[in-house]
Structure 1
Amino acid sequence: MNDLASKNGFQTGQPASAITGQLLGIGTDRLTDLKDEKNSLADVISGLLSAADDRSRDKLRALEGELKAHSATITVVGQVKAGKTSVINVLTGHPGFLPSDVNPWTSVVTTVHVNKPAPRGNIKASFQFFERDEWERLMRGGGRLGEMAKRAGASDEMERIEAQLLDVRRKSQERLGRNFELLLGQTHNYDRADTQLIERYVCMGDPDAIDAEFSKQGRFADLTRAADLYMSLPQYPFPFSLQDTPGVNDPFLMREQITLRCVRNSELCIMVLSAAQALNTVDLALIRLLSTLDRRQLIIFVNRIDELERPAEQVEEIRASLNATLQRHGIGSVTDIVFGSAKWAEAALTGRPGDLPEAGQAALLDWARVANVPREATDPCESIWHLSGMPALIRAIGDRVAEGSPHRLMQKVRRDLKNVVSQSYASILGEGGPTGGIDRVNLSEAEVQGRVKAIVASLQAELHQDSQEILAELRARLGAASEQFVETTVAAMIRHIEVYGIEGQWECDPMRLRVQLRAAYMGFARSIRAVAQRVLGRAADEMTGVYHGLLGEPGRTLRLEPPMVPQIPAPVAIGKTIVVDLQGGWWKRWIKLRRGAQAFAAEYRTLIANEAQTIVAEIEEQQVAVVEAALRRALQEFLDEHAQTLTGIAKAGGVTQAGLRSAVGADRYAELRKQLEAAAALLDADLRAASA
């Protein structure tokens, strides 16, 4: 790093166009492994297409489509001005591409799809407007929280927000006229994606100059709900989508609800924090969100260390403070905490490190004293890129993504391929005659249907009984946690009022409730996962038994793989804002309207119980119900698929109809059997390696 310390160290380096591709590829090893793994499975599918029957061929093409369409979804959240948009721009190699001028009133989720094909043609940018009912909820004072806050006495805050929103709507209608109503629910698609276009849909501009901004024709940020952008970056070997969220601390909940929905459906969450704050004074909304996630789903990127005077010393101090804050709120340690600077990364990508301010250069040199930069990084821009933390962030993304949905997808594809091979093998055996099949099947069509019907009834009954027991236990734990929180909080409030009166400082901290609710949900997740593994495993064994009974001894080598257990999402509902999260003067005003601590306690107990119940209800409706439905669907689809194959073989009765035998001879049958057996052996080895 001595070259950076030299006078000219910040002025040298490769041209920006030459170095950008080189820099983005650093740290992508795990993503390359994923690409190789996906290509290997694609080759297996391609080879099997020629050996499969018509039904199996359709299944193979569907699996091929799943592999091609899949990308890991990564949600980026963070404090205002923490630099999350700048981080996304740097990760895509386009500094300044996404505008960071997002007004607090907008609710735009901007997603950059990297190496993922657009749904239609050559679309590069797609912008979706709010549906009419979404806009109406926004205008009704923020939905549930607004109504609760009004009943609790916080109406003045809500009235101020409503006045702002009404002003936004009035100016939107003045600018757009009758098009205002027509635009709701629409989508605008473009064959280009540039900063100027994006600004029209996601930026309302400086709120202090809102009148001037609204006067510009063609701005739609007040109506835009989501923006999807598509770009090709060959430096990244595996496709992914980066979601830039508007925030989770919006009093009227629209942005929070959208962000929580993004997190619920994403593979990974990158929390961008500012080094100057790093959860010391961060909005509690971020803490709430962190507390709902599995630590393997989370990467924390502490940005803006270029603003520290002594990053070589201060980074470790910030790390210790950050870990202490996470421990204090019951989150625990996070595996991936990366420190860096989007500004340094921009300087490296543009090849203009000399444009960094003097303070930023001094911080860079100080950080270079302790940071780990590979010896082979001889170009100053490459060294600065390492110091910016981006290679470490990309590497962490690859590690987390490799453990997530791509891994689950490829495991699912392997199991499905193994079952397609088994089905194709069974169909060949069922073709009958001297071509290598069996002379006749051992079960009639009615007997197969009877056995399958009994298996379906038994498994569905088992799943229903076990899931209901687990759900009853979950409801009991959720209810107990809620009741305990209400009672202890009310008791503490009464003691506080009796000792200090209503003038004392009081804050209700619902984090304790959230920790208990999360523990209850994770217990449910473990239990339902165990039930799913047992029931789906039994489904595979039972249906394998029907194949054996149908085909006799020639089919004894055939064995089905159980379907994958559905993914159980993080309980992000726990992280949403409830009225007791609001710490403002309205508490004292509300208390003053009550006569005495005991009179206050009854209403307070009702208020807090209702709020706790909203979390419990959302966990059941949006988390538990989704998991249960996915499990039932996985079981039913597996049983239906193999029931069709078994019934088809039994119906043929060992005499070919219009299948393989009519098209090829005995030699080809033998070749197909060898091909299927080879594919089965390869998939078996892959499955054993993946499970190990």
Structure 2
Amino acid sequence: METEAATLFQEHRVGEQLQSVKASLLGLLHQLGSLSDGALKERLGPVEKRLMENQARVAVIGQVKAGKSSLINCLIRKPEFLPSDINPWTSIVTQLHFAHPSGQTSGAIFRFFDEEQWYQLATRGGRLGELTDGLLEDYKSEQLFDQVDAMRERAKMRLSDKFEALLGQSHKFNTINSEIMSRYVCAGDCPDTPVKKSVAGRFSDITRAAEVFFEQDPFGCPMCIMDTPGINDPLLIREEITQQSLETADYFVVVLSAHQSLTNVDLRLIRLLKALNQDQIVVFVNRVDEVTASADELEKLRKRVVGQLRRELNGKEVPVILGSAAWADYALTENDEYLDPDVLQDFVQVCGLEEQVEKSTPADLVNAEMRASAYVASGLPKLEEALSDMIYHKAAATDLIEAVTDLENLSRQTIEQTRVRIDNLIREDANAAPILTREEKDQLVILARAQIKSVFKSLKVSAAEGWEELQADLAFTINGYSDNYYETILAEIADLKRGETYQCDLDPLRETLREHYTLAFEAIRNSLVDEIVILNQSLGAEFCEEIRDHMKAVRANTWFLGTLLPKTDALYRTVSLDLTASWLNGLLGFPRGKIRQAVDTASKQFRDICSEMVGKGRSDIETAIERLMGEYIDDVSQHLDVFSEQGKDGKVHTNQENRTRKRTMQQSSNDLETAEMLVETLVEIRSMLEASGGAK
């Protein structure tokens, strides 16, 4: 590859805008931490950690042979790094880390299965089973177990006496290349034969996970690009692991093939993302270089996909990009193995891309115009732009606004604390006592802590009542649906003709339960936020007026609580075989009691799912409340501390003490000016973020 091409053909550094705002916030955070002799450093530590460890996690997902790995190779500007020509028989997700929070910027770690993990994979146990049960028909469960067993046996054959020793272990490399990668993530040409040490696929069946580390380039912020096995894969294991990756990613590139539109398999995947509240999606329709459709027909395809996604995602507009990883690869490497210049030029001309090609054509590059045509037509620049916008807007609505709110609150507190310090210095000049003695301050801290804890305890009690009502409502809905569904089954079975199979459709119940749970979760969350806002306004009402006015600067940051979302993916698990087609094939021979029993069994499973879902939502919100209460108490305690500072009880000051006091007064004045400037800057940043989609 010509190294300069990777730089020349890059209009958008994904995440650059996000990183710019993060850098600004970190700079302001350090300024704030330097005030008041560094008194806020400990309190600012968690805010800094959240900003520093923020990593955009992008999963590239889609059906087999859609070209996911080839597209990733172009996106990361490392053509041929991920194996893309060999059928990847391994069942892993490969995580490519760019500027990992740990600081590691090279090498790789390949982690191996242990016996328990193999068992969980075979039985669909643990979180994996919870997430994926609704996506596979039950008759495939036995097939999945057989495939895991086959993986294990192949690994034994390939590794012989080393097999047992490798279980649960990992291989680490200080440097990494495509040949090493292929040993762990490819099976080679024949997966059922022994593999020599240096040949692709030697460790493929035993590898559970792969992590590879790079510098931040070519991205503008820390990124994790996740290459996933395909959905709708002949090997169900690969599909299982792909589904698991959905919960660990924040953003998704769904890769479709131009040879087919959005299929039922793709729509099922979109629905699961929706249930996980994962609607940060870009769709890339790949391989347009391989189809004979006209540009108009391709545009109709694109619009059809846009419309389908809009319906699935409640009106949300999802970017849908037409492109070709093969064209992007040619632009970066001049590898013309899969290039048909006539098809490329026709596409550029019909789509009206000539002007953009002219702007993108670099000087002094071999075949510059043709490669610029391929780059523009590939859709890669549009994909990078869409990714960058999506990452920034989501971060603006969550992580960045949370950090801004924290910094703004602490800056306002610093302003009030600095004013109190200045007042105390003036009092000291007049030989007056501070506003509070230390004993009085300690009493107020105790009083404020008690008030905060009392309010938060009350919040938990009221929220607990809400969760109990929600669980009862969900159970009532399930029972009512079951009664109606029982009658429906009887009526529909009576109308069946000989040879027909009865199909059970529980999706209406799933959607009803999802809607009920979502509305109730949001109502409980929003009620808690409202109550904490009232606490902000009423805290310390019994304090003396001077202290009470200063206390107005202390505010609990409810932003992160308000951004918690309900997760309903558990509803999409498969409910037992009692209501599947295979059981109902012989249903006409069963008495009505058997049908009732089947419906009741399904109802119990839905009640259990809802109970678990309510418990998880309750735990998430209570964890957020505990964090918020701890930070609030710390802020109040520190704020009250300044009221008992300084004061010499009428002592006559020496010249040295006077000079020290003068320097302290000057420093406090400077701190006050800096803190006021920080508030102004943070307010401007908040307005910018809210205008970018972060308003709540």
Match of 1:4 in 2: none
Between 282-291 and 247-256, the greater mean CA deviation after superposition: 247-256
| 2:670 corresponds to 1:676 | no
Match of 1:591 in 2: 585
Q: Report how far residue 200 of structure 1 moved.
A: 2.2
Q: Distance in 2 between matches of 1:547 and 1:213?
A: 77
Q: Report how far residue 230 of structure 1 moved.
A: 1.9
Match of 1:298 in 2: 281
Q: Distance in 2 between matches of 1:346 and 1:603?
A: 58
Q: Distance in 1 between matches of 2:297 and 2:609?
A: 39
Match of 1:166 in 2: 149
Cα distance, 1:157–1:139 mapped onto 2, change above 3 Å: closer
Q: Is residue 502–residue 591 contact of structure 1 (8 Å, CA) maintained in 2? A: no
Match of 1:341 in 2: 324
Q: Is residue 423–residue 645 contact of structure 1 (8 Å, CA) maintained in 2? A: no
Paired residue secondary structure (2:82):
coil
Match of 2:56 in 1: 72
Q: Mapping of 1:159-558 within 5 angstroms?
A: 159-176=142-159, 179-206=162-189, 209-213=191-195, 219-247=202-230, 258-282=241-265, 285-292=268-275, 294=277, 296-323=279-306, 325-326=308-309, 332=315, 334-352=317-335, 354-358=336-340, 361-362=342-343, 365-366=346-347, 368-370=349-351, 372=353, 374=356, 376-378=359-361, 379-405=369-395, 407-429=397-419, 431=421, 435=425, 439-442=433-436, 444-483=440-479, 486-487=482-483, 489-501=485-497, 503-543=499-539, 551=547, 555=550, 558=553
Residues 142-181 of structure 1, C-alpha deviations (whole Å, 9 max, x = no match): 689999x99xxx9875444333322322332344456544
| 2:97 corresponds to 1:113 | yes
Cα distance, 1:349–1:611 mapped onto 2, change above 3 Å: farther
1:604 aligned residue (587, 598, 614): 598
Q: Amino acid of the residue matched to residue 5 of structure 2? A: I
Between 193-202 and 294-303, the greater mean CA deviation after superposition: 294-303
Q: Amino acid of the residue matched to residue 621 of structure 2? A: E
Q: Distance in 2 between matches of 1:240 and 1:107?
A: 23
Cα distance, 1:655–1:558 mapped onto 2, change above 3 Å: farther
Q: Is residue 109–residue 170 contact of structure 2 (8 Å, CA) maintained in 1? A: yes
Q: Distance in 2 between matches of 1:244 and 1:663?
A: 62
Q: Report how far residue 503 of structure 1 moved.
A: 2.0
Q: Amino acid of the residue matched to residue 455 of structure 2? A: L
Q: Distance in 2 between matches of 1:545 and 1:239?
A: 45
Paired residue secondary structure (1:112):
strand
Match of 2:694 in 1: none
Q: Report how far residue 287 of structure 1 moved.
A: 4.2
Between 282-291 and 668-677, the greater mean CA deviation after superposition: 282-291
Match of 1:562 in 2: 557
Paired residue secondary structure (1:221):
coil
Q: Is residue 125–residue 193 contact of structure 1 (8 Å, CA) maintained in 2? A: yes
Q: Distance in 1 between matches of 2:630 and 2:548?
A: 25
Q: Report how far residue 56 of structure 1 moved.
A: 0.6
Q: Is residue 83–residue 342 contact of structure 1 (8 Å, CA) maintained in 2? A: yes
Between 341-350 and 226-235, the greater mean CA deviation after superposition: 226-235
Q: Is residue 77–residue 245 contact of structure 1 (8 Å, CA) maintained in 2? A: yes
Q: Distance in 2 between matches of 1:290 and 1:146?
A: 16
Cα distance, 1:662–1:580 mapped onto 2, change above 3 Å: farther
| 2:66 corresponds to 1:63 | no
Q: Amino acid of the residue matched to residue 609 of structure 1? A: S
Cα distance, 1:188–1:425 mapped onto 2, change above 3 Å: farther
Q: Report how far residue 44 of structure 1 moved.
A: 1.5
Cα distance, 1:280–1:160 mapped onto 2, change above 3 Å: closer
Cα distance, 1:51–1:576 mapped onto 2, change above 3 Å: same
1:138 aligned residue (121, 136, 140): 121
Q: Report how far residue 645 of structure 1 moved.
A: 0.9
Residues 29-58 of structure 1, C-alpha deviations (whole Å, 9 max, x = no match): x83332322222222223233324444123
| 2:37 corresponds to 1:21 | no
Q: Distance in 1 between matches of 2:384 and 2:578?
A: 36
Match of 2:366 in 1: none
Where structure 2 has 5 or more consecutive residues not aligned to the other structure, the ranges are 362-368, 650-656, 692-696
Q: Distance in 2 between matches of 1:545 and 1:247?
A: 60
Q: Distance in 1 between matches of 2:126 and 2:674?
A: 60
Q: Is residue 435–residue 666 contact of structure 1 (8 Å, CA) maintained in 2? A: yes
Q: Report how far residue 561 of structure 1 moved.
A: 5.9
Cα distance, 1:559–1:342 mapped onto 2, change above 3 Å: same
Q: Distance in 1 between matches of 2:138 and 2:605?
A: 17
Q: Report how far residue 401 of structure 1 moved.
A: 0.9
Q: Is residue 434–residue 666 contact of structure 1 (8 Å, CA) maintained in 2? A: no
Q: Distance in 2 between matches of 1:463 and 1:556?
A: 22
Match of 2:652 in 1: none
Q: Is residue 264–residue 569 contact of structure 1 (8 Å, CA) maintained in 2? A: no
Q: Is residue 269–residue 297 contact of structure 1 (8 Å, CA) maintained in 2? A: yes
Q: Distance in 1 between matches of 2:114 and 2:39?
A: 40
Residues 66-85 of structure 1, C-alpha deviations (whole Å, 9 max, x = no match): 33332211222211111222
Q: Distance in 2 between matches of 1:32 and 1:535?
A: 38
Q: Distance in 2 between matches of 1:174 and 1:64?
A: 49
Cα distance, 1:196–1:549 mapped onto 2, change above 3 Å: farther
Cα distance, 1:251–1:17 mapped onto 2, change above 3 Å: closer
Q: Is residue 501–residue 585 contact of structure 2 (8 Å, CA) maintained in 1? A: no
Residues 297-335 of structure 1, C-alpha deviations (whole Å, 9 max, x = no match): 222222222222124122233234435544676755533
Q: How many residue pairs align between the two structures?
A: 662
Cα distance, 1:609–1:540 mapped onto 2, change above 3 Å: same
Residues 263-296 of structure 1, C-alpha deviations (whole Å, 9 max, x = no match): 3343222221222223235366424324425585
Q: Distance in 2 between matches of 1:341 and 1:552?
A: 64
Q: Is residue 172–residue 214 contact of structure 1 (8 Å, CA) maintained in 2? A: no
Q: Is residue 275–residue 567 contact of structure 2 (8 Å, CA) maintained in 1? A: yes
Q: Distance in 2 between matches of 1:405 and 1:462?
A: 32
Q: Amino acid of the residue matched to residue 620 of structure 1? A: V
Cα distance, 1:337–1:197 mapped onto 2, change above 3 Å: same
Q: Distance in 2 between matches of 1:471 and 1:514?
A: 19
Q: Amino acid of the residue matched to residue 522 of structure 2? A: R
Q: Distance in 2 between matches of 1:44 and 1:144?
A: 40
Match of 1:6 in 2: none
1:628 aligned residue (602, 612, 621): 621
Q: Report how far residue 89 of structure 1 moved.
A: 1.6
Residues 66-123 of structure 1, C-alpha deviations (whole Å, 9 max, x = no match): 3333221122221111122222222111222122478676431211122x23625554
Q: Is residue 104–residue 213 contact of structure 2 (8 Å, CA) maintained in 1? A: no
Match of 2:109 in 1: 126
Cα distance, 1:592–1:105 mapped onto 2, change above 3 Å: farther
Q: Is residue 324–residue 378 contact of structure 2 (8 Å, CA) maintained in 1? A: yes
- Normalization by structure 1: what TM-score? 0.82
| 2:78 corresponds to 1:84 | no
Between 255-264 and 379-388, the greater mean CA deviation after superposition: 255-264
Match of 2:653 in 1: none
Q: Is residue 32–residue 675 contact of structure 2 (8 Å, CA) maintained in 1? A: yes
Q: Distance in 2 between matches of 1:43 and 1:407?
A: 20
Q: Is residue 533–residue 565 contact of structure 1 (8 Å, CA) maintained in 2? A: no
- Normalization by structure 2: what TM-score? 0.82
Residues 174-196 of structure 1, C-alpha deviations (whole Å, 9 max, x = no match): 44456544434434332212212
Q: Distance in 2 between matches of 1:144 and 1:60?
A: 34
Q: Report how far residue 414 of structure 1 moved.
A: 1.8
Q: Is residue 125–residue 227 contact of structure 1 (8 Å, CA) maintained in 2? A: yes
Cα distance, 1:335–1:293 mapped onto 2, change above 3 Å: farther
Paired residue secondary structure (1:413):
helix
